[in-house]
A and B are shown apart, each in its own frame.
Chain A
Amino acid sequence: MALSLINMVMHLVLLAAAPPLMLGLIQRTKALLAGRKGPPLLQPYYDLYKLLRKGIVLSKTATWIFRAGPMVTLVAVLLGGLLVPFGTSAAPLHFQGDVILLIYVLALARFFTSLAALDTGSSFEGMGAAREVTFACLSEAALMLGLLVLIKFSGSLSLNTMLRAPAMHAFAMLPVASLMLAAVGMFIVLLAENARIPVDDPATHLELTMIHEVMVLDHSGPLLALVNYGAAVKLFVFAALFLHFVPPVPSASPALNWAVFAAEMLGVAVAIGLVESLMARLRLTHVPTLLVAASLLCGFGFILMLR
């Protein structure tokens, strides 16, 4: 009982505090690979603090939806974070069918981010919203197929059981081929949903980006802080989700579980940094091909499990 309480507190603390660190780690990886020193690891926190103290510039065209956008988005991804188990410890909120809730809170976040973008009346932000909702149609199929692999394997519709099932079974029992196919697909989904290279470039802040940074162009001050924090949480949740597709390191003690989880998240951050350093951004018209490939990988993973 006490143990589960500690685990839950750890989950909440990590969900609330760790996401910006992940951004810092990615930036550091990219800086090191480029031969630069790079900003401090805690730079994303400093940025959030700075933004929270600033004033807000609102567009004259915008309505309450513009302000509600970042708030609803943040709450939605935080709720998603409560559903995904971190490592082998249980998620704070779990029930049969919560896998659908996860997909749909992410959709809710997308709905409000896109609406807030359109609320400014800027054609540039409209383009970002159009791309976001378009690519999501493909990445949502891939996400569903990837999750189907674990649903089939675990026989459960609760993320808590589904996602932890690979860690609960002996390695010999795992459908390794399916999991590996799905893992590659899910990594692509992770990159696409979080607007990372090769789908979008988060580094060029203004006019050169294509999807996420475009949509939030008019947000400023505390609203931008909410947007950035929400994006970091989303990345963190997706990374935690992705980790369950990678054949796990079994660990007996709970303390070790958190250490393994931290190490694995570091690994994901470095992997994203590597991808961003070594690859160029794809042409916009090629993004659907990549996402369809992700769906196919996850789909084959599922079909391999049909008997």
Chain B
Amino acid sequence: MEALQRQPVQRWVAQCDGCIRVHDEAMIRVWMNLILLAVVLSGLSGAWGLLSTGRHAWGQWVASACMALAGVLGVGAGLAALAGNKTLVIQYPGVLPGIAMHLKLDALAAFFLVLIFVVGAAASIYGLGYWPQARRRRTAQKLQFVYGLMIAAMAMVTLAADAVVFLTAWEVMVVAGFFLISTEDERADTRQAGWVYLVATHVGTLSLFGVFALMHAATHSYMLAAIPPADGAVVRLCIFLLALLGFGIKAGLMPLHFWLPGAHGNAPSHVSATLSGVLLKMGIYGLLRILMCLPQPPAAWGVVVLSLGAMSAVFGVAFALGQHDLKRLLAYHSIENIGIILMGLGVALIGVAEGHPMWVLFGMAGCLLHVWNHGLFKSLLFLGAGSVISATGSRKIDALGGLARLMPWTAALFLLGAWAICGLPPLNGFISELLVYIGALVPATHAGAGGWAAVSLAAVALAVAGALALACFVKVYGAVFLGMPRSKQALRTREVSLAMRVPMVVLAVMCLVIGLFPMVVLTPLEHAVGVWAWPMGGSKRLATAVPWRELSIAGLALVTGAGLIWLLMRRSSSLRLRRAEPTWGCGYVQGTARMQYTASSLAQMLVAMLRWVLLPVQQGGAPAGIFAGRASFHSDVPDLVTDRLLFRFWRWLQLRLRPMRRVHQGSIQRYLLYILLVLFVLLLTLVPVWTIVRHMLAP
């Protein structure tokens, strides 16, 4: 019995050794080198611009050209590596004394690399129009430099094969993120969002140090290698919980999401696109990698991830409904989509624990494909929001309106993004949500699943989240693009420049292609899923398990059907008998733009229904009395964690720690002295303590 239980473990270890062995494949080396070239290109893309005085725009053109080139190289090599499905490990000995650096390229890393480079290049080109150096002289150079660094660091995180490279790249990535978020640091809320982000992300980094320290203790190596399950359940549980905390903060998992709305709302829009579309996914990537090191997870882990995912999905979109700021709203939708991604992962983990290969397959395929899809449509939406902001100068949803007539391109592209994020056919969001749905529903179809059929209730949470997301995007699109302009800014609007439209078109086309022809993602997805799922005991039947062809037929049927009716209606005589009149106001003729239904009113019923979690704050009310005076009404949904808990706690802490301020004098010498003193104290205390402990432990 014992031997039988140990058997899969040994196979796992053997396979892992197989991964680490260097394959003699020439091609994968070429792809690796091209990707490293792309990393260097993007890392240095903004550096050239620093040499210029900032008066000229050439630095920005060079940066965008470098990013575009890096994008072509990275995406091409990444896709080729995905298709080849080989693993390559490179070792650079002696970069740091005694520690070798390891890089690893496999299909899972390549899957994330493709997304990084697509969105990185698209947003950089968009920046030419959105954040032009000519107008943003103070910040543009810094932004380009840090932006390139962040893209390069994200790519290095996916390539890292040991803790040192991983943590170094991770830290560069998050600190670059801080500088990008606080680009407009003349505004107080931007500064605050930046600080909250920095604190949150460093709590995450700290727990990652814990993860890697524990892993080093278990495996005696800094490599990301599997820990034998025999090594103690407590250590593995600690690693899992710390990884969930560290990567959960990065990904914006629901109770840990508090830094996200402010950060993504206040960064420049093309940066928000990258942060939301890609940076959050690094949390998912890290979680996947660490879970690969913990074979045979107990089912409870899957249940935790699934529940947290379902919570993020439903409450993320619930908070989005209450927002009045276009970008904050989109940021909350990122939390929802991270939830959907984690629901897929949760189902996969339960499948691993319970030994159901198909659950692993569907859950993981949904998780990974949604990573791609959310990266594409969320960046599209953020870029669309950026176009709205740069054209009108306003982020307030209720101050806009009627933009579809004035900005037809942006309106159509934003509609496509909204269509995709609601998971509606025939766009890409539907395909990945379908996979997550199937993953969640499959347990109900298994006769032998027993109580695990209750996992299928997650599909209900997903359905509710989907319906809420639809309500939210009806609200946003209706208020921003449809109806009549509600303010002067919205009236004086022009379509944005070509540099801003082209990246959006590229992203939109990708959404459309994945939606209409989902079989294009089959091979990449199969290989990326395989890296994670097959050693864990997943199935290899992705090509046959999902009805790729039928999905394509259904999508094309929708498009052709709508096209046919459109043509028929154009040809029919009726459209010639066409009159344009004001909107029917039920007999009331002098309707003004201010009388339109606002976004807040549209969401009001849902916000009221969900008030037990949203806790909306209202000021003012209806005018009262026979001769009613002026009245005003304002409602807001503050964030549950940031505004209600964290800031209060900090204020309390600030008061309590006031005496500590005397220590902070602001001179660097003093701080260096502090560091030295702390080191001395630690050495003086820890070394003797450790010696005593060792003596006590020694037999």
Residues of B within 8 A of A274 (CB): none
Q: Are A126 and B456 in contact (CB under 8 A)?
A: no
Q: Are B474 and A56 in contact (CB under 8 A)?
A: no
Residues of B within 8 A of A136 (CB): 467, 470-471
Stretch in contact with the other chain, from B112-120, B601-609, B671-679: B601-609
Q: Are A148 and B456 in contact (CB under 8 A)?
A: yes
Q: Are B405 and A63 in contact (CB under 8 A)?
A: yes
Q: Are B470 and A306 in contact (CB under 8 A)?
A: no
Q: Are A148 and B597 in contact (CB under 8 A)?
A: no
Knowing A95-B550, A137-B471, A222-B574, say if A59 contacts B582 (CB, 8 Å): yes
Residues of A within 8 A of B537 (CB): none
Interface 0/1 of A115-126, CB less than 8 Å to B = 100111111111
Q: How far is B445's CA from A307's CA once the two chains are assembled, in angstroms?
A: 13
Q: Tell me, rounded to whole Å, the shortest Cβ–Cβ distance linking B485 to chain A.
A: 10
Q: Are A111 and B422 in contact (CB under 8 A)?
A: yes
Interface 0/1 of B447-475, CB less than 8 Å to A = 10011011011011001101110110111
Q: Are B558 and A65 in contact (CB under 8 A)?
A: no
Closest B residue to A223 by beta carbon equals B569
Stretch in contact with the other chain, from A29-37, A149-157, A196-204: A149-157
Knowing A134-B606, A156-B445, say if A55 contacts B578 (CB, 8 Å): yes
Q: Which of A95, A126, A156 contacts B596 (CB 8 A)?
A: A126
Q: Tell me, rounded to whole Å, the shortest Cβ–Cβ distance linking B356 to chain A.
A: 14
Residues of B within 8 A of A144 (CB): 459-460, 463
Q: How far is B699's CA from A291's CA once the two chains are assembled, in angstroms?
A: 68
Knowing A56-B574, A119-B483, say if A79 contacts B583 (CB, 8 Å): no
Q: Are A155 and B609 in contact (CB under 8 A)?
A: no
A-B contact count (CB 8 A): 254
Q: Which of B447, B468, B551 contacts A137 (CB 8 A)?
A: B468
Q: Tell me, rounded to whole Å, the shortest Cβ–Cβ distance linking A59 to chain B.
A: 4
Q: Which of A62, A104, A119, A221 contacts B424 (CB 8 A)?
A: A104
Q: Are A130 and B483 in contact (CB under 8 A)?
A: no
Interface bracket on A: 35 or more
Task: Determine chain B's interface SS by DSSP, over half rule.
Answer: helix
Which residues, 64 to 90 on A, are CB-close (under 8 Å) to B?
65, 67-68, 71-72, 74-76, 78-79
Q: Which of B451, B546, B596 contacts A306 (CB 8 A)?
A: B451
Q: Are B434 and A100 in contact (CB under 8 A)?
A: yes
Residues of A within 8 A of B419 (CB): 111
Closest B residue to A155 by beta carbon equals B445
Residues of B within 8 A of A114 (CB): 474, 478
A174 interface residue per 8 A CB criterion: no
Closest A residue to B460 by beta carbon equals A144
Q: Are B404 and A63 in contact (CB under 8 A)?
A: yes
Q: Are A218 and B464 in contact (CB under 8 A)?
A: no
Q: How far is B426's CA from A104's CA once the two chains are assembled, in angstroms?
A: 10
Q: Tell me, rounded to whole Å, the shortest Cβ–Cβ distance linking B39 to chain A.
A: 38
Q: How far is B441's CA from A54's CA once the two chains are assembled, in angstroms?
A: 47
Q: Are A157 and B474 in contact (CB under 8 A)?
A: no
A206 interface residue per 8 A CB criterion: yes
Q: Are A57 and B558 in contact (CB under 8 A)?
A: no
Q: Are A130 and B604 in contact (CB under 8 A)?
A: yes
Q: How far is B463's CA from A155's CA once the two chains are assembled, in angstroms?
A: 20
Closest A residue to B438 by beta carbon equals A97
Query: Which 10 residue pairs of A and B lie closest in terms of their CB atoms, listed nearest first?
Result: A126-B597, A55-B577, A118-B478, A121-B483, A95-B547, A133-B471, A75-B561, A95-B550, A137-B467, A144-B463
Given A63-B482, A104-B466, A111-B422, 20 extra CB contacts under 8 A: A55-B576, A56-B577, A58-B578, A65-B415, A68-B566, A74-B565, A79-B558, A79-B561, A96-B547, A111-B473, A121-B483, A122-B591, A136-B470, A137-B468, A141-B464, A141-B467, A148-B444, A148-B459, A155-B447, A218-B583
Pick 30 A–B contacts, CB within 8 A, sort by A: A52-B574, A55-B578, A57-B581, A58-B579, A61-B402, A71-B562, A72-B562, A75-B562, A79-B561, A103-B463, A104-B466, A107-B423, A111-B422, A120-B483, A120-B584, A121-B583, A122-B585, A127-B601, A130-B603, A131-B605, A133-B475, A133-B606, A137-B606, A140-B463, A141-B460, A141-B467, A144-B463, A155-B447, A156-B445, A223-B569
